[in-house]
Structure 1
Amino acid sequence: MLQYVELPDCFYPTPPVTIPPSAPTPKQSLYLSNLDDQKFLRFSIKYLFLFKKSVSFDTLKSSLARVLVDYYPLAGRLRTSIEEDHNKLEVDCNGEGAVFAEAFMDASAEELLESSKLPNKSWRKLLYRVEAQSFLDVPPLVIQVTSLRCGGMILCTAINHCLCDGIGTSQFLHAWAHLTTNPTTNLTITPFHWRHVLRSQNPAQVKLPHPSYTRTKLTPQVDLFTWMQTQSLVATSFTFGPTEVLRLKKHSRVPRNTTTFEAVAAHTWRSWVRSLNLGPTVTVKLLFSVNVRKKLNLPEGFYGNGFVLACAESSVWDLVSSDDNFHHVVKLVQQAKGDLSEECVRSMIDLLEDKKVRTDLSTSLVISQWSRLGLEDVDFGEGKPVHMGPLTSDVYCLFLPVVGDAKAVRVLVSVPESVVERFQGYMMINESWEKDHGDGDVNNTNNINGVACVMRK
């Protein structure tokens, strides 16, 4: 079990600077689609990369200025819309720039590697905090590069979720890394910034039900999300290697048609619900991000939020009443993905014209998949990261890449301290599954690789 590691303070040799684009960029207002402008996304995604070797600050700042020419909205500032509803946001593409902080920490990459798998509050030191009156006053891109005693570095980025999703983040970071190592070349993918391709229809046409959403005037019978905000949360981490993934797939009874995500998501959702001891009639939901770029035929390099939340739902009883109904849970996840037709996504975009509509978090586990985005492959010229993950942990669940094992996935989620042991127990893969379903070709284990490391937030 990992132990709590309180990081030393960062030393800032110079004040943070603002890095503008290195060449003139369009001065305009950038429309945000309804998928961008959800209140659910009004926060910054905070990524952490740990490298064994560092790149000079000046080199990183120079290539950042260059990449911001193409990714100029990240150098702008969010504001309420001038022409549309004041509840709607837009980007003022003014070329003001991204915040870049240089720091030093008296620690080594090896010392930080193991403990980095479970974020705690002290890790927030690794990202410069911009003092701001509101969410709108925080620049869309904030970066801190921290040099380590061993010659390694930590790169932390905070990217406003209203401007892009995980695919967009990966696209930007790879572009920045490309220009760092190849400063005289052009980008391999040109970002497409216009979100008008995701405009709602006029008039709006909501033709289908959308269980991912609810209206604020409705009061849920059970509100787990609000309750969890009052609890002492504990970060848990579980790594599913190829053997464990195969066992889950076989337990689904349709292994050839079950993806790694579907199997691990179904298992995590079911374990989460079982640990909370909810009433059998309570309806619980699993919300998970699905990329819809191909489904909507969005342009190559589309740089905005190109995902929607699929929703699987079930009564607690139907989800957990039997140890032998895992295949039913997997089918719920598969059906939720299958329901996301182009018509469904367009109807969802139209639904979000109603600003009273919000994501239904009341009894939902939300999963965001970072494990297939290529984030672990970002290389600024001194090698790929030995670790990548979030800066902090919260009640949302992340599926993270495992450096060095493309077939593995790491599940990170914080749960109330009162249910940690139950959750750990349910996340254990029972070896009787393989006996019941003839998984003779799988090595016997009664554990998940690297299972159940826990730490207070």
Structure 2
Amino acid sequence: MIMESWIQELKFPQLDIPVTVNHVTPVMPFGPIKATHGDTLYLSNLDNMIGARVFTPTIYFFRENISYCKEGVNIVEVFRDALAKVLVPYYPFSGRLRETKSGKMEVFFEPNQGALIVDAKTEMTINDLGDLEVPNPAWCTLIYRFSDEEDYKVVDMPLVIAQVTKFSCGGFSLGLRLCHCLCDGFGAMQFVSAWAATAREGKCFEKKTRLPINFRTTFVAKNMMTPLKFVAGTTITTPKPCWDRECLKPRDPPLVRFPHIEFMRTDDESNLTATLWESKPVQKCYRINEDFQNLLKKQAQLDDGQAFTTFEAMSAHIWRSWVKALDVKPLDYELRLTFSVNARQKLIDPPLKKGFYGNVVCVACATSKVSQLKEGKLSNIAGLVRKARNSVSEEYVRSTIDYIEVDRPTRLEFAGKLTITQWTRFSIYECADFGWGFPVYAGPIDITPTPQVCVILPDGGASVNKSFLVCICLSESAALRFRDNLFELS
């Protein structure tokens, strides 16, 4: 059964975006913070997972709907001043990371650290970028990197790096890099939401009727609220940020109760890696509408009527389509599917304090032989996903913390693995109203460096039908097969 009308492949234009950097400015906390020279902060083992030792680049585009030019308001100043205020309650973001003798990271404080804000411009207009629907590697110039910066460097780096790029049409982008060691996706949304609320508070607005969030169009951005003038504002933090990483310390002695196959070192005895890199991977993105999602869940439904969630059914379908597209062999080779589970509600003894913004995600892992994925029922594969998700209990979280304490992984393991990252759980659009309405696009810029990662993104367009985007990297030939498998339900 071919459902091409329910799945739309989205293209992105090949671009060259010349950017001029005007100023690179440190941003210090606006007032006294709860740390002085020489102080350190503990990071949990969940913060120290090897996969968290990265910067997560995201970009937000705002169209030419801004009256700041009439009122003489400098948008870079709005972002900078609000960031300085937010760095008081979120003071750990003004520090730096260093590695201890045990191999763990910690936050330390010295004079003249702070965050970084970059004032940039381009002669292009936002319309020159085409449809802002999916990540585009060409946007990399809108995210600031140091000229001599090494890949995956987090030590001694500013932990918040923000580039505001003004387009000639009056629109602008905010390219943001937050260090994953300090926050997971939910924590990042909490930080960005506080920053945005503080920026809005720092301006005087004529309030207008808010339209439903789904209608994220230029009309909304133009009409939600009109800035009148820039005034001094106060810091808005709801909820109040909580550090408290000590509540996630390992047990003494550590007690590892699970095998944690998500971290297991395995030799790639399949043709998977060679097939993935047979030619340069390319990014492919598909919009999946609600009709297809419902049909997929119906196909996955068990004989007893038990239903699967959209994520469970979709993950199973993506995993199966990916394996078929790559024609993985041998058939008895065991593959892994990993994905993050928000463990906040799992922690009961003691519960996390409100406002905790650290890493509280555990990696769930489903396993299956190649033959079972190629030939098995969708319901059986979805059942593996559900079993992996349900396995993340409070004890599993504690066991993960202890596992990392005992056997600290020093590299990411990709052998026989596909990782699905779900961004639809994050309020990435809703939290980013800095005073000019919701962005027209919010999300990652490029997924091509990670060909064994599939990203599920919210659809930022006028998405009345609850569609979402599936983005994945494959060679051109494998991508064609993946598309055919994705479109087809038996």
Specify if TM > 0.5: yes
Matches within 5 A, 1:358-437: 359-377=412-430, 378-393=432-447, 394-395=450-451, 396-403=453-460, 404-405=462-463, 407-430=466-489, 433=490
Q: Distance in 2 between matches of 1:36 and 1:181?
A: 30
Matches within 5 A, 1:2-13: 2=11, 4-13=13-22
Equivalent residue, structure 2, for 1:308: 362
Question: Is the 2:456–2:471 Cα contact (8 Å) retained in structure 1?
Answer: yes
C-alpha change, 1:48 and 1:222, in structure 2 (3 Å) is same
Q: For residues 411-447 of structure 1, give each alpha carbon's deviation from its aligned partner in whole angstroms, at most 9, with x where no partner exists.
A: 11212334111111111143xx5xxxxxxxxxxxxxx
Residues 401-410 or 343-352, more deviating: 401-410
Equivalent residue, structure 1, for 2:346: 295
Residue number among 267, 270, 275 corresponding to 1:219 in the alignment: 267
TM-score normalised according to structure 1 size: 0.87
Q: For residues 122-150 of structure 1, give each alpha carbon's deviation from its aligned partner in whole angstroms, at most 9, with x where no partner exists.
A: 32101111234643132211110111122
Question: Is the 1:16–1:101 Cα contact (8 Å) retained in structure 2?
Answer: yes
Q: Distance in 2 between matches of 1:42 and 1:295?
A: 24
Classify the secondary structure of the residue corresponding to 1:317.
helix
Instruction: Indicate whether 1:345 and 2:376 are aligned.
Output: no
C-alpha change, 1:227 and 1:211, in structure 2 (3 Å) is same
Alpha-carbon offset, residue 367 of structure 1? 1.4
Question: Is the 1:225–1:364 Cα contact (8 Å) retained in structure 2?
Answer: no
Q: Distance in 2 between matches of 1:389 and 1:113?
A: 16
Q: Distance in 1 between matches of 2:17 and 2:173?
A: 14
Give the gaps of 5 or more residues in structure 1: 434-457
Question: Is the 2:85–2:235 Cα contact (8 Å) retained in structure 1?
Answer: no
Give the gaps of 5 or more residues in structure 2: 1-9, 69-74, 202-232
Residue number among 77, 88, 91 corresponding to 1:72 in the alignment: 91
Classify the secondary structure of the residue corresponding to 1:257.
coil
Q: Distance in 2 between matches of 1:253 and 1:261?
A: 13
Equivalent residue, structure 2, for 1:318: 372
Instruction: Indicate whether 1:200 and 2:217 are aligned.
Output: no
Question: Is the 2:43–2:107 Cα contact (8 Å) retained in structure 1?
Answer: yes
Residue number among 8, 13, 27 corresponding to 1:19 in the alignment: 27
Equivalent residue, structure 2, for 1:332: 384
Q: For residues 148-178 of structure 1, give each alpha carbon's deviation from its aligned partner in whole angstroms, at most 9, with x where no partner exists.
A: 1221111111111111111111111111000
Alpha-carbon offset, residue 373 of structure 1? 0.8
Alpha-carbon offset, residue 199 of structure 1? 0.6
Residue number among 220, 232, 236 corresponding to 2:280 in the alignment: 232
Equivalent residue, structure 2, for 1:277: 327
Q: Which amino acid aligns with 1:352?
A: I
Instruction: Indicate whether 1:99 and 2:153 are aligned.
Output: no
Q: Distance in 1 between matches of 2:252 and 2:271?
A: 34
C-alpha change, 1:230 and 1:192, in structure 2 (3 Å) is farther
Classify the secondary structure of the residue corresponding to 2:240.
coil
Alpha-carbon offset, residue 382 of structure 1? 0.7
Aligned length: 422
Q: Distance in 1 between matches of 2:271 and 2:352?
A: 36
Q: Distance in 2 between matches of 1:226 and 1:198?
A: 39
Classify the secondary structure of the residue corresponding to 2:170.
coil
Residues 329-338 or 257-266, more deviating: 257-266
Q: For residues 278-315 of structure 1, give each alpha carbon's deviation from its aligned partner in whole angstroms, at most 9, with x where no partner exists.
A: 12111111100100011112111111111011011100
Alpha-carbon offset, residue 47 of structure 1? 0.4
Alpha-carbon offset, residue 227 of structure 1? 7.0
Question: Is the 2:44–2:248 Cα contact (8 Å) retained in structure 1?
Answer: yes
Instruction: Indicate whether 1:42 and 2:65 are aligned.
Output: no
Residues 104-113 or 369-378, more deviating: 104-113
Equivalent residue, structure 2, for 1:445: none
Alpha-carbon offset, residue 223 of structure 1? 7.8
TM-score normalised according to structure 2 size: 0.81
Question: Is the 1:113–1:387 Cα contact (8 Å) retained in structure 2?
Answer: no
Residue number among 127, 130, 142 corresponding to 1:126 in the alignment: 142
Q: Distance in 1 between matches of 2:443 and 2:130?
A: 11
Residues 24-33 or 86-95, more deviating: 86-95
Q: Distance in 2 between matches of 1:106 and 1:380?
A: 23
C-alpha change, 1:203 and 1:266, in structure 2 (3 Å) is same
Q: Which amino acid aligns with 1:294?
A: Q
C-alpha change, 1:284 and 1:203, in structure 2 (3 Å) is same
Q: Distance in 2 between matches of 1:61 and 1:229?
A: 42
Q: Distance in 2 between matches of 1:176 and 1:223?
A: 47
Q: For residues 1-37 of structure 1, give each alpha carbon's deviation from its aligned partner in whole angstroms, at most 9, with x where no partner exists.
A: 6353213211223x21110110111232111111111
Q: For residues 54-98 of structure 1, give each alpha carbon's deviation from its aligned partner in whole angstroms, at most 9, with x where no partner exists.
A: 5611111100100111111111111012xxx34111011447111
Q: Distance in 2 between matches of 1:426 and 1:223?
A: 19
Equivalent residue, structure 1, for 2:127: 110
Q: Distance in 1 between matches of 2:277 and 2:88?
A: 40
C-alpha change, 1:385 and 1:335, in structure 2 (3 Å) is same
Question: Is the 1:2–1:115 Cα contact (8 Å) retained in structure 2?
Answer: no
Question: Is the 1:223–1:363 Cα contact (8 Å) retained in structure 2?
Answer: no
Classify the secondary structure of the residue corresponding to 1:40.
helix
Instruction: Indicate whether 1:90 and 2:109 are aligned.
Output: no
C-alpha change, 1:77 and 1:227, in structure 2 (3 Å) is farther
Q: Which amino acid aligns with 2:190?
A: Q
